[in-house]
Amino acid sequence: MRATVKDVARRAGVSPKTVSNVMNGIIPVSGATRTKVEQAILELDYVPNLSARGLRNGRSGVIALALPDLGTPYSAEIAHHIVEVAHEQGWIVQIEETGSDPQREHELMVRARSNLIDGLILNPVVLDESAVQVGVALPPVVLLGEVTQRLADRVFVDSFGAARDMTLALAQSGRRRIAVLGTTQGRGSAAAIQRTRGYEEALEILGIERDESLLIPCEKWTPQTAADALTAYLDSHPLPEALFCFTDSMAIGALSVLWKRGLRIPEDIAVAGFDDIADGRYAVPSLTTVSFDKRAIASEALRLLTERMVDRGHEQRVVSVDYNIVERDSTRT
């Protein structure tokens, strides 16, 4: 006969509650007690039937986290914080990758219906209305970052304001020819659109005329694509006084190109990024960036998601997480 939690408790000489504390690992249990319980679990080959439990109360205890590419530093840091906060709250986290592909984002929204999950946290790149239509019958969804439409509860950093403030900061040392790297043409991500607008707003505040030739497109936001785009740009344009990259990852690719050309940073050209990823702090020189509390993004996303699980009917909520400009050696003169 299959062992129950009571059998394990009896064999270990502890209460069933203690057995479940050892199993779920949330409430600390002394080492000696843990060993006794684990030994009893082993001897009785006890396997709790969580799957049946999940069906009984209609909850799986699982949330899904969908990101464009887990391998990029920004996504990895966000995933780390969400997994950490979710585990603290007793959630299991499933990972999905969308590869920044609108079709895969769309498919994910459809497939989310078929998975045994209680909620979905999605960092979309180009999510649009077609996904929303499917989304009405989805489990609770929280979106991370900028989106162009009101689709669901959302946690974001004000890309427009942050890009404006970074551009203003770059102009403080008298720099006027400020280029941006990462603008997109055609159907771009909401973040690209907002950051470009913030940059343009700053130019207006500064009384600097917008110069189309200082907008350097880069569809994919990776070090490699940024390095390629900047190399091509520098071959046919004069050197700007400052370069604001729309992500730190792009800035790291850009720094590598500038160094290889023997340019001094920030003397010849100042460089700034966005996201405050760990690698930016150790870049040569250390990278000026837009910083924000990634742990707060995770906590707020989990809070919105669990509130939505309890009450599907309330109005959509949007939480903005504060940012600040962190000045490091790449712009400090």
Pick between residue 93 and residue 215 the one whose CB is nearest to a second copy: 93
Where does 89-150 have alpha helices with state H? Answer: 102-112, 129-135
The Cα 85–Cα 78 span in angstroms is 11
Single out the residue of 18, 53, 50 nearest to residue 36, CA to CA: 18
Q: Is 84 a binder of a second copy (CB under 8 A)?
A: yes
* DSSP output for 146-181: --SS--SEEEE--HHHHHHHHHHHHHTTT---EEEE
Q: C-alpha distances in angstroms, 80 versus 93, 129, 295?
A: 11, 29, 9
Query: Which amino acid does the sequence have at 62?
Result: V
Only one of the segments 78-86, 148-156, 189-197, 300-308 lies at the binding site for a second copy (rule: CB under 8 A); that segment is 78-86
Which residues, 97 to 116, sit near a second copy by CB under 8 A? Answer: 97, 104, 107-108, 110-111, 113-116
Among 71, 187, 264, 333, binds a second copy (CB under 8 A): 71
Among 4, 10, 16, 92, binds a second copy (CB under 8 A): 92
Among 4, 33, 94, 225, binds a second copy (CB under 8 A): 94
Q: Are 283 and 255 in contact, with CB atoms under 8 Å apart?
A: yes
The Cα 91–Cα 64 span in angstroms is 10
Among 4, 10, 16, 23, binds a second copy (CB under 8 A): 23
Only one of the segments 6-14, 91-99, 171-179, 187-195 lies at the binding site for a second copy (rule: CB under 8 A); that segment is 91-99
Only one of the segments 66-74, 166-174, 193-201, 307-315 lies at the binding site for a second copy (rule: CB under 8 A); that segment is 66-74
Q: Is 77 a binder of a second copy (CB under 8 A)?
A: yes
Annotate each residue in 193-222 with x if it binds a second copy (CB under 8 A) or - if it does not, as one string: -----------------------------x
Among 7, 9, 72, 292, binds a second copy (CB under 8 A): 72
Place of tokens 């009893």: 40
Only one of the segments 167-175, 238-246, 276-284, 301-309 lies at the binding site for a second copy (rule: CB under 8 A); that segment is 276-284
Only one of the segments 82-90, 167-175, 188-196, 201-209 lies at the binding site for a second copy (rule: CB under 8 A); that segment is 82-90
Q: Is 54 a binder of a second copy (CB under 8 A)?
A: yes
Among 12, 14, 142, 283, binds a second copy (CB under 8 A): 283
Query: Which amino acid does the sequence have at 244?
Result: F
Give the Cβ contact number of residue 318 at 10 Å. Answer: 14
Q: Is 227 a binder of a second copy (CB under 8 A)?
A: yes
Among 16, 33, 48, 197, binds a second copy (CB under 8 A): 48
Pick between residue 1 and residue 47 the one whose CB is nearest to a second copy: 47
Among 6, 17, 87, 261, binds a second copy (CB under 8 A): 87
Sign of CA dihedral 286, 289, 293, 294: negative
Give the Cβ contact number of residue 130 at 10 Å. Answer: 13
Give every CB contact of residue 25 below 8 A, 6+ residues apart in sequence. Answer: none
**Smallest distance from a second copy to CB 224, Å:** 8
Query: Which amino acid does the sequence have at 40?
Result: A
Residue 63, phi then psi, degrees to nearest 5: -115, 155
Q: Are 78 and 67 in contact, with CB atoms under 8 Å apart?
A: yes
Q: Are 181 and 243 in contact, with CB atoms under 8 Å apart?
A: yes
Q: Are 151 and 132 in contact, with CB atoms under 8 Å apart?
A: yes
Binding site for a second copy (CB under 8 A): 22-25, 38, 41-42, 45-48, 50-52, 54-55, 60, 62, 65, 69-73, 75-77, 79-81, 83-84, 87, 92-97, 104, 107-108, 110-111, 113-116, 133-134, 136-137, 222-223, 227, 252-253, 255-256, 259, 278-279, 281-286
